[in-house]
Structure 1
Amino acid sequence: MTAEPETWRRDGRWATVWPTGRRSVAAQHTAGGYPPVPPHAGGAVSPEVAAYAVAIYSQAGDTVCDPDCGPGTVVAEAVRARRHAVGISRDPDGWEAARAALTAVKAQGAPGDGMILDELPDRRSWTGLGPIDLVLTAIGPPDDPADPGGPAGARLRARLASYRDLPRPGGHLVVVAAYHVAGVDLASEVAAAGRDAGWRPVQRCVALTAVPYTRLLGTARPPARARAYPVHQDVIIFRRDGGRAREPRTPDPPPLAPAPHAALDSVTSDRSAA
């Protein structure tokens, strides 16, 4: 952690809550045609969180990149939202899963286009879709929180530094971090490592991943085991200096029982009309 004051915390949008937990993660994966994941998985981006971030920090026709794309959720949601999408996976099984997710959404009629690469591009090999407007990825819990090379160590700083050349000047890096895993405040460590790697942190948000139980809203009481799982993830937003940044736009609130991706399509149509 650097000694510099965290002036970015004084932003009026600090700790914004994203309404991305209206459906369970399992229901989101079923609706989107993704393979199921455990509802407490902290190292993955849920479809609604990915769609919300894409809607806020990019516009139709922009390029979105997930440099560690896992099952391809970010790429698939970006393609649904009429963006160009680039996913990177060095793991052969992950590459296959991301390709399958991209193929599935294209078969469903997603209007964007995308690709899955097997390594991070450099200036000599990059032949992609033009400057990247949004880098969106997840950072999960470390295998060993006590490892000195773990979340607060050199590996995290090196990972965030490797993303520096991806976005255009003024573009954003959005990191979805697991919440307080094994007593580790991973979001704060991501913010510190990003600053050390040359990024400017500009906002911290909370992305809901489950509907909290309240009698007032009439939601069903979850089973005791489910209540032990985190119901949100932390989101850290960085900006690359050197260009004019776009002001993020909060999507319109979806209806109480939205059809899959209806809210995101509405946001994209509004922007296209504008």
Structure 2
Amino acid sequence: MTTTTPQPRQAGDPTAVPVSVWATAQSAPAAQRSGRYSPEGTAHPAKMLPAIAAHAITAYTKPGDLVLDPMCGIGTTLVEALHCGRRAVGVEYEARWAEIARTNVGLAREAGIEHDAAVFTGDARRLSIVLPAEYFGAVDLVITSPPYGDSTHGQVSVRPGEGVHKRDHRYGATLDRGNLANLGLGRLLTGFTRILTATATLLRPGGYVVVTARPWRQHAELIDLPAHIITCGTLAGLVPVERCVALLGRLVEGDIVGRSSFFQRDFVVKQRAAGLPMHLIAHEDVLIFRSPTHAEARTQANDIDRSAIPVAGLPRYFHTPPALAA
């Protein structure tokens, strides 16, 4: 983590000051979405905090730039890009969420924002087919988040005499194996590497990719998704430049007031009672990559042996996409 004293940062110049902690949860998620988003999007299992998207967009782009989210869900990144004076394009696999994303873009239109925006329905692993040719080489920033453990998502329903029930914590149809969220960790990482590889062809030279990723616990074991995503980005030919922390809790006089879900708190309480000293996860890692310049791309092609890239914890189940293995 960076130890330099934070200074004002110029939009579009992420090298100015490497601020590593983003205070992105000073207001609750519902308050951040109030007035900008359709209530129909509440059921989405993993919505990015608007403040995280807005912070990344203002830090890594300038007004008029083009922002892409290849897995845009209900369109949070697109809406925040529009409100920041940027253009936006999103791709969403599930038609239900794509339609809500279009609705949310429409709300920005009703608020008087006229910047270009579009939502396409399709598989982000096939961006070359889903997106028109005009977007290739024109994107200034890619910002997205992969799907991950359903233990961190969901809504709570309490029924008299029936206890607490969890809902809206899964993506799409469970049997839809085309949805990355329904695959095991290994295939999820493989698919996400393909997505990052595809976005690299859309970025202008020197453009940025911002990925938010949260570690989660599976059967009490911590799954370090952020570390795996760094490997995915490297395999995709991107250059890692920063690793930041976006807080999911509110800063109050030097302390953090958590905004964790009922299920996270319940899990931690039960594990502590069983003797395991666990703590709530109160942040998302923000991983920033850069598209290589033409000179760097030539160097990569000549010098990098990707089979030698260390993959911490992945050899048992990480499958290199055919396009990278060739």
Q: Any idea what the Cα deviations from partners look like across 1:230-273, whole Å, max 9, x if unmatched?
A: 332111000010169xxxxxxxxxxxxxxxxxxxxxxxxxxxxx
2:282 counterpart letter in structure 1: V
Higher RCO structure, 1 or 2 (CA under 8 Å, sep 6+): 1
For the Cα contact (< 8 Å) 1:82–1:111, is it kept in 2? Answer: no
Q: How far apart, in 2, do the equivalents of 1:223 and 1:11 lie?
A: 27
Answer with 167-176 or 193-202: which moved more.
193-202
For the Cα contact (< 8 Å) 1:67–1:137, is it kept in 2? Answer: yes
Whether 1:23 aligns to 2:59 is no
Task: Give the superposition deviation at 1:113.
Answer: 2.3
Q: Equivalences for 1:225-236 in 2 at 5 Å?
A: 225=262, 228=265, 230-236=281-287
Percent identity reads 29
Answer with 71-80 or 222-231: which moved more.
222-231
Task: Give the superposition deviation at 1:80.
Answer: 0.9
Q: Any idea what the Cα deviations from partners look like across 1:202-238, whole Å, max 9, x if unmatched?
A: 10011112215x5x46998979948826332111000
Task: Give the superposition deviation at 1:186.
Answer: 0.7
Q: How far apart, in 2, do the equivalents of 1:220 and 1:190 lie?
A: 27
Residues 181 and 69 (structure 1), Cα distance of their counterparts in 2 relative to 1, 3 Å cut: farther
1:16 counterpart letter in structure 2: S
Q: How far apart, in 1, do the equivalents of 2:228 and 2:211 lie?
A: 12
Task: Point out the structure with the larger helix share.
Answer: 2
Q: Secondary structure at the match of 1:86?
A: strand
Task: Give the superposition deviation at 1:110.
Answer: 2.4
Q: How far apart, in 1, do the equivalents of 2:190 and 2:258 lie?
A: 42
Whether 1:179 aligns to 2:218 is no
Answer with 14-23 or 159-168: which moved more.
14-23
Residues 230 and 131 (structure 1), Cα distance of their counterparts in 2 relative to 1, 3 Å cut: same
2:214 counterpart letter in structure 1: A
1:80 counterpart letter in structure 2: H
Task: Give the superposition deviation at 1:179.
Answer: 3.0
For the Cα contact (< 8 Å) 1:63–1:129, is it kept in 2? Answer: no
1:196 counterpart letter in structure 2: L
Task: Give the superposition deviation at 1:25.
Answer: 1.0
For the Cα contact (< 8 Å) 2:214–2:284, is it kept in 1? Answer: yes
Q: In the comparison of the two structures, how many residue pairs are matched?
A: 232
2:128 counterpart letter in structure 1: D
Out of 50, 69, 75, the residue aligned to residue 53 of structure 2 is 50
Q: TM-score, normalised by structure 1?
A: 0.72
Residues 223 and 162 (structure 1), Cα distance of their counterparts in 2 relative to 1, 3 Å cut: closer
Residues 184 and 203 (structure 1), Cα distance of their counterparts in 2 relative to 1, 3 Å cut: same
Q: Secondary structure at the match of 1:27?
A: helix
Task: Give the superposition deviation at 1:146.
Answer: 9.6
Q: Any idea what the Cα deviations from partners look like across 1:82-118, whole Å, max 9, x if unmatched?
A: 1110011132112101101100111112242211112
Q: Any idea what the Cα deviations from partners look like across 1:68-89, whole Å, max 9, x if unmatched?
A: 1000010011011111100111
Q: Any idea what the Cα deviations from partners look like across 1:22-61, whole Å, max 9, x if unmatched?
A: 101121122433436489x6x4311111111100000001
Q: Equivalences for 1:166-245 in 2 at 5 Å?
A: 166-182=202-218, 183-212=222-251, 214=252, 216=253, 225=262, 228=265, 230-242=281-293
CA-based RMSD of the aligned residues comes to 3.6
For the Cα contact (< 8 Å) 2:245–2:285, is it kept in 1? Answer: yes
Q: TM-score, normalised by structure 2?
A: 0.61
For the Cα contact (< 8 Å) 2:38–2:100, is it kept in 1? Answer: no
For the Cα contact (< 8 Å) 2:211–2:287, is it kept in 1? Answer: yes
